[in-house]
Chain A
C-alpha cells in the first residue's frame, strides 16, 4: 500500500547531479568573464580617465587616448545598424510570413544559415574587393559599415525569424478572421508580440559585430587617425584596431593603454546587452491591443 509513496533514490541523485552540472555550466562562463574583465580592469585601471576617453593617439603611452577609435566604433555601429536591421528584419518577415514554401525559399534559407557561419575575415576580403575597390568607397567609414552590415545581416535574419516563429499561428488567424489584411495583421499583432525577441537578437548580434577586428584589418582600416569622422567618406579607426596596435608595441605603458581600451570596449558591449535586456522587459509588459 505504501508503494504509492516510494522515493526513487537513484532518480533523485540523477536530478541533483544534473542540477549541479547545469549550475556549473552557468557559473563557469560567468567566472571566466569576471576573471577576464577583472584582470583587464586591474591592468588598465590607472589609465581609465576622461583624458583617456577624450585623448588622441600618441607616441607617449601615458598620453595616448582613444577618442578617434571610440568615435569610429560608435559611428560604425550606428551606420551598420541602420543598414542591416531594416533589411534583415524585412527579409525575415518575408521569409517567415510571405514566402511560398518551395525550392527557392529553401535555397535562400540554407544560404542564410551558411552565411551566418562564414568566418568574418571572408567578409573583410569581400568588403575590400566590392566596397573599397569596385565601388570606390576607399577605406572609408561607409565601406567599413557596409562590410559589417553584410556580416550582421544573416545573424539579424536568423534572430528575427526565430522571434517571429514564437508567435502562435492562431494570433494571425484571429487577425485575419477579424478582416485584417496580411500586412495589418503582421504590423499590429505579430510584430508587437515578437519585437522584444527581435531586438534582443539584433542587439546581441550587433555587439558581436562591433568587436570584430579581422574584417576591418583586411579592409585596411587605419591605425593612426587624429581626427573624428565627419562624413561617410572619412578615414576611420576602431577600438579593436587601436587595441591590437597597442598590444604589439614594445613599451609596457601601451599594454596598460590596451587593457584600458579593452575595458572600454567590454563596457560598451555590456551596455548594449543591458539595453537589450531592459528593452525586452519593458516591451513585454506593454503588449496590449
Chain B
C-alpha cells in the first residue's frame, strides 16, 4: 500500500516540473524518411549554433507528413516527391499555403549481386521489361529478358509501396506512378534489401544512393542507359557528379521541404529555413545525398523571401527528368492552391450568401 502511494507521488512529482512556461519556440517538421537525415543534420547544427528554437522532426513518410502539414499541424514537411493533387486539395481546403524548396538530389541505384557476371550495364527498356506490371509471373528468369543471359532465376528486391522511392521509380521506368509488378521482396527498411541482394546471386533491386554507398563492397552497381544521347550517350554510372550534372537520368530525383506560409510569419521559422538553405549544400553530401548545383540554394532563398507559394510541378506529384531550371523556375500560380484560401474574403461572402435564401 505505501508503495502504491509512492507510485502516485512519483506521478505527482512530475507536475511541479511542468510549471515552466513553454516560452521556447518550437519548429515542427515531419514527413519523408528519405529526407529525415538531411533535416536531422540541419537541426543538429542549428542547435549547436546556439539558436534558441527547438526543432522536432518526425518520420511519417512523405504522404503522412503532408497529411499533418495540410492540417496545419506542422510547420515544415519533408518530401521525397512533389506534392500530389489530393494533397494540394487538402491544403487548399484548410487554407494552408506552402513554399516548395528543393534541397537536394538523390540517385536511385540499380544493383545486382557481385557474382552477376552477365551484366555490366542496363537500359531503361530492359528495366521496364523486368519491373512493369505485365512482367509479373512471366519474367522469372534472366533469360526471359535477354536470351543471351543465363537461365538463372531472377529475384527482385524493392522498397515498400508506400515510399516515395517506389513512386518515383515506377513513374520513371514504367511511366506510371505506382504501376509495378507485385511479386518482389519489398521492405520499408532498405538495409533488408541490401542484405537480400548481397546474399542472392540472381538478385536485382533498387534503392537510394546512400544505401549503395555504404555497402559498395557487397553490391554491384549497374550503369543505366536511357537511350537518349542528349544527357550523355551510353550507360551512365551513378555518382554524385552524374546526378548533379543531370546525366544520370531518369533515376535522379529532387528532394524537398515544404514550408507553410503562415508559419513563416514566425521569426524562428524564417531563421531556421534560411539556415537550412545556407547549410544544405555542405550537409547533404555528409549524410549521403547530393547537393543542388550552382546557385540553386541562393535562388531558393529568393523564392523564400518572395514567399512564392505553389509547386513548379503544378501539384501533379512525381515527374521524371525535371531539369534544374524547371525546379528553380517560378512556381506556377495557376494550379497551386485550387481555392486560394479566402480567409479575409470569407466573412463577406458568408453572411451575404444565406441572406437571399431566407427571403
Contact = CB atoms under 8 A, between A and B. Distances in A.
A19 interface: no
A83 B4 CA distance: 11
A179 B12 CA distance: 35
B40 interface: yes
B14 A224 contact: no
Interface string B1-39: 101100110111011011010100010101001001101
A238 B216 CA distance: 32
B20 A223 contact: no
Contact of A85 (B7, B33, B41, B68): B7
Size range of the chain B interface in the assembly? 35 or more
A249 B60 CA distance: 15
Contacts of B57: 222-224
Given A79-B11, A191-B1, A226 B22 contact: no
Interface residues of A, number: 41
Contacts of A235: 26, 28, 54, 56
A2 interface: no
Interface stretch (A7-15, A52-60, A163-171, A263-271): A52-60
Interface stretch (B197-205, B258-266, B282-290): B282-290
Interface string B170-192: 00000000000000000011110
Contact of B43 (A220, A224, A231, A247): A224
B78 to A, nearest CB: 11
A234 to B, nearest CB: 8
Contact of B8 (A58, A82, A139, A251): A82
B152 interface: no
B305 interface: no
Contacts of A222: 30, 56-58
B14 A82 contact: yes
Contacts, number: 114
Q: Is the interface of B mostly helix, strand, loop or mixed?
A: helix
Nearest to A132: B73
Contacts of B188: 248
Nearest to B208: A250
Contacts of A227: 54
Nearest to B71: A133
A233 interface: yes
A82 B12 CA distance: 8
Given A195-B1, A231-B17, A224 B11 contact: no
Given A75-B14, A85-B4, A224-B55, A59 B189 contact: no
Contacts of A192: 1
Contacts of A82: 7-8, 10-12, 14
B11 A81 contact: yes
Given A59-B40, A251-B214, A224 B56 contact: yes
Interface string B272-316: 000000000001001110000000000000000000000000000
A89 interface: yes
A248 B190 contact: yes
B139 interface: no
Nearest to A251: B214
Given A81-B10, A82-B10, A195-B1, A249 B54 contact: no
Interface in A214-251: 220-227, 230-233, 235, 245, 247-251
B288 to A, nearest CB: 6
Given A85-B4, A226-B44, A250-B210, 4 more contacts: A86-B4, A195-B1, A227-B54, A255-B191
26 contacts: A56-B47, A57-B40, A57-B44, A59-B40, A59-B41, A59-B283, A78-B10, A78-B11, A79-B11, A82-B12, A82-B14, A86-B7, A195-B1, A195-B3, A220-B58, A221-B58, A223-B40, A223-B59, A226-B43, A226-B47, A230-B20, A232-B15, A235-B56, A250-B191, A250-B215, A279-B3
Interface of B: 1, 3-4, 7-8, 10-12, 14-15, 17-18, 20, 22, 26, 28, 30, 33, 36-37, 39-41, 43-44, 47, 54-60, 68, 188-191, 208, 210-211, 213-215, 283, 286-288
- Nearest 8 A/B pairs, CB to CB: A82-B11, A224-B57, A231-B18, A59-B41, A250-B214, A250-B211, A250-B210, A222-B58
